[in-house]
């Protein structure tokens, strides 16, 4: 690590209409370090990065790159100056091939035409560094989202840059992929690159960071060396709440894991679909949280889609409240009292240009039919009620949902389904890309609903989360249910063993 920062931001102010997003924020980044930016949703992490890379201008303050004052009018200018950024959402072209995506805008040429051979070989090399071996000529959207994210990372790290910014690059990666990404980051650090890393995962922060800057409510809380900052102190600084970690621990012990004695609300026997999911048996009782554990691609989302009718099952029988049903569409599922917050919030959840109010009432209105419109007054009341109840941060119910942060969008989607008063709620990665505090708020809410008799099917890549909240866990591997554990048997280690194929 050298003594002079490659990047220095001092006294940065940024105001959006009605919101002070950044206030007097200082930030510095040294070459040869991995520096993690932490904070809750709305703390200003993404705004700080956007200001730095010229997505939008700042109001006050100074940015220095290698000692010289800079001000980028557009991300391209920042890139030209050696700042490579991987933004939070995968921003690639799904219809182009993997290789085209990695070399888009900087195609190597040979005799005036694009050198496809070189592109494909170099892409394979770049991906091999991340232990990813895929057909680079196939279109990007033919791969799962995790692979897409790895491709985005490969693109970002394959450019020679002095500063690399990664805004939540690991949100859809499994542990192995994260480990490989970190290996690459460490290699880049040794080579003297300055890396700014944004994540919500505490473990990952400590696994890879040299230095941590904590932000809260648009201000900088402080800058620390990672080894000098215990995790409970970090959480307290992010939330501004002393002893937040105690609450966190209390959560783990409090989980009343009593199996429900009630008859199952949902009962699946051998429900599956060829090419999608091997037949699964699964019961979910009212007041019970059933976790689905497994790696990416193990069939978690696929199971959820079968339960929700988004995919039609071709074998098995499904019973809801004791009655045999066939779910041909999500509409059927909704009519039977099933609700589902999907995995891909942006693509399958929010209707971006519609307001918070319209997004909240959409599912309820869809069930009522097009003819019986909920009155505006009732819509408004409902929206305001949920905004207050779930603590959705927005200045108005008429704000388009697309402008909210990820955590708040997720809360709106939760509100959308709660408005339909469901009996079974499927939560597919409800806390992905959401900060710690919002995560606990959402999970608290889910648990209190469950206590009132709601059945919940819970999916998350964070094993500790699944183990902590679930009364029962179905373990999936290779699109097949391999085990079901409940009661005292619930421990992370055991779930990992089952996933890895060990005998229990």
Decide if 201 contacts 232 (C-beta within 8 A): no
In whole angstroms, the minimum distance from the beta carbon of 485 to other proteins comes to 30
Least separation in angstroms between CB 465 and other proteins: 23
Q: Which is nearer to other proteins, 136 or 334 (CB)?
A: 334
Please provide residue 439's backbone torsions phi and psi, each rounded to the nearest 5 degrees: -55, -50
Specify which residues 456 forms β-bridges with. 289, 425
The minimum distance between CB 72 and other proteins, in angstroms, equals: 6
Least Å distance between CB 367 and other proteins? Answer: 6
Helices (H), 24-174: 45-52, 75-80, 98-103, 116-128, 145-157
Nearer CB in complex with other proteins: 308/440: 308
Question: Smallest distance, Å, CB 265 to other proteins?
Answer: 18
Smallest distance, other proteins to C-beta of residue 348, A:
5
C-beta of 128 vs 353, nearer to other proteins: 353
Supply the minimum distance, in Å, between the C-beta of residue 28 and other proteins. Answer: 18
In the complex with other proteins, the residue whose CB is nearer, 283 or 358, is: 358
Nearer to other proteins, 197 or 308 (CB): 308
CB of 69 to other proteins, least distance (A): 4
* Site of interaction with other proteins (CB under 8 A): 57, 59, 62, 65, 68-73, 77, 81, 308, 310, 329-331, 333-335, 340, 342, 347-354, 358, 362-363, 365-374, 416
Q: How far is CA 431 from the centre of its chain?
A: 6
**Least distance CB 360 / other proteins (angstroms):** 11
Residue closer to other proteins by CB (options 59, 135) is: 59
Q: Which is nearer to other proteins, 382 or 436 (CB)?
A: 382
**Helices 231-239 & 244-254, crossing angle to 10 degrees?**
110
Tell me the sheet residues that pair with 340.
426
**Please, which residues have CB within 8 angstroms of residue 293's CB and are 6 or more apart in sequence?**
300, 463, 466, 467, 473, 474, 475, 476, 495, 498, 499
Sign (positive or negative) of CA dihedral 270, 273, 275, 276: negative
3-class state of residue 486 by DSSP = strand
Residue 23, class by beta-carbon neighbours within 10 Å (0-12 exposed, 13-18 middle, 19+ buried)? middle
- Measured from the CB atom, the residue of 250 and 373 that comes closer to other proteins is 373
Q: What is the separation, in whole angstroms, between the first and last Cα of the chain? A: 47
Q: Which is nearer to other proteins, 70 or 486 (CB)?
A: 70
**d(C-alpha 174, C-alpha 461), whole Å:** 7
**How does DSSP assign 324-373, residue by residue?**
EE---SHHHHHHTTEEEE-S-IIIII--TTSBHHHHHHHHHHHHH-SSSP
CB 482 within 8 A of CB 503: no
Can you read off the two tokens belonging to residue 349? Answer: 């959840």
Angle, CA 461 vertex, CA 156 and CA 465 arms, to 5° = 130
Instruction: Evaluate the CA torsion angle 257, 410, 176, 165 in order and state its sign.
Output: negative
Instruction: Give least dist CB 475 to other proteins, A.
Output: 26
Cβ-based nearer residue to other proteins, 283 or 311: 311
In terms of DSSP bridges, do strands 323-325 and 277-284 run parallel, antiparallel, or are they unpaired? unpaired
């Amino acid at each position: 690590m050298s003594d002079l920062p490659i990047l220095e931001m001092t006294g940065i102010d940024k105001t959006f209409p009605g919101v002070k997003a950044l206030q007097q924020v200082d930030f510095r980044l040294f070459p040869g370090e991995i520096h993690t930016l932490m904070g809750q949703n709305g703390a200003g992490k993404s705004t700080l990065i956007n200001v730095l890379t010229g997505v939008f201008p700042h109001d006050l303050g100074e940015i220095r790159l290698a000692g010289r004052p800079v001000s980028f009018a557009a991300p391209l200018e920042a890139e030209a100056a050696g700042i490579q950024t991987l933004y939070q959402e995968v921003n690639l072209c799904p219809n182009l091939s993997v290789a085209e995506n990695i070399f888009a805008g900087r195609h190597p040429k040979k005799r005036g035409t694009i050198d496809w051979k070189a592109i494909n070989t170099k892409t394979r090399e770049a991906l091999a560094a991340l232990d990813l071996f895929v057909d680079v000529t196939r279109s990007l959207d033919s791969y799962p989202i995790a692979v897409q994210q790895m491709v985005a990372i490969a693109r970002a790290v394959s450019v020679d840059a002095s500063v690399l910014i990664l805004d939540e690059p690991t949100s859809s990666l499994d542990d192995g992929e994260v480990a490989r990404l970190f290996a690459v980051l460490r290699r880049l650090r040794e080579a003297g690159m300055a890396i700014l890393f944004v994540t919500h995962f505490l473990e990952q922060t400590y696994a890879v960071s040299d230095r941590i800057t904590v932000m809260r409510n648009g201000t900088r809380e402080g800058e620390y060396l990672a080894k000098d900052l215990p995790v409970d102190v970090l959480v307290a600084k992010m939330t501004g709440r002393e002893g937040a970690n105690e609450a966190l621990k209390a959560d783990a012990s409090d989980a009343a894991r009593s199996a429900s004695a009630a008859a199952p609300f949902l009962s699946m026997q051998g429900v599956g679909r060829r090419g999608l999911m091997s037949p699964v048996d699964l019961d979910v009782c009212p007041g019970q949280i059933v976790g689905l554990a497994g790696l990416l691609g193990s069939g978690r989302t696929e199971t959820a889609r079968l339960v929700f009718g988004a995919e039609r099952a071709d074998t098995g029988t499904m019973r809801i409240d004791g009655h045999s049903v066939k779910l041909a569409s999500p509409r059927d599922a909704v009519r039977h009292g099933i609700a589902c917050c999907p995995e891909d919030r942006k693509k399958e959840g929010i209707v971006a240009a519609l307001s918070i109010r319209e997004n909240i009432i959409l599912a309820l209105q869809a069930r009522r039919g097009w003819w019986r419109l909920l009155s505006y007054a009732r819509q408004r009341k409902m929206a305001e009620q949920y905004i207050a109840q779930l603590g959705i941060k927005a200045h108005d119910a008429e704000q388009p949902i697309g402008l909210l942060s990820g955590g708040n969008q997720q809360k709106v989607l939760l509100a959308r389904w709660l408005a339909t008063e469901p009996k079974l709620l499927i939560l597919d990665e409800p806390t992905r890309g959401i900060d710690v505090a919002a995560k606990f708020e959402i999970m608290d809410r889910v648990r209190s609903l469950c206590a009132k008799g709601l059945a919940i099917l819970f999916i998350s890549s964070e094993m500790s989360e699944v183990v902590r909240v679930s009364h029962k866990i179905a373990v999936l591997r290779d699109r097949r249910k391999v085990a079901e554990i409940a009661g005292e048997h619930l421990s992370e280690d055991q779930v990992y063993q089952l996933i890895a194929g060990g005998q229990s």
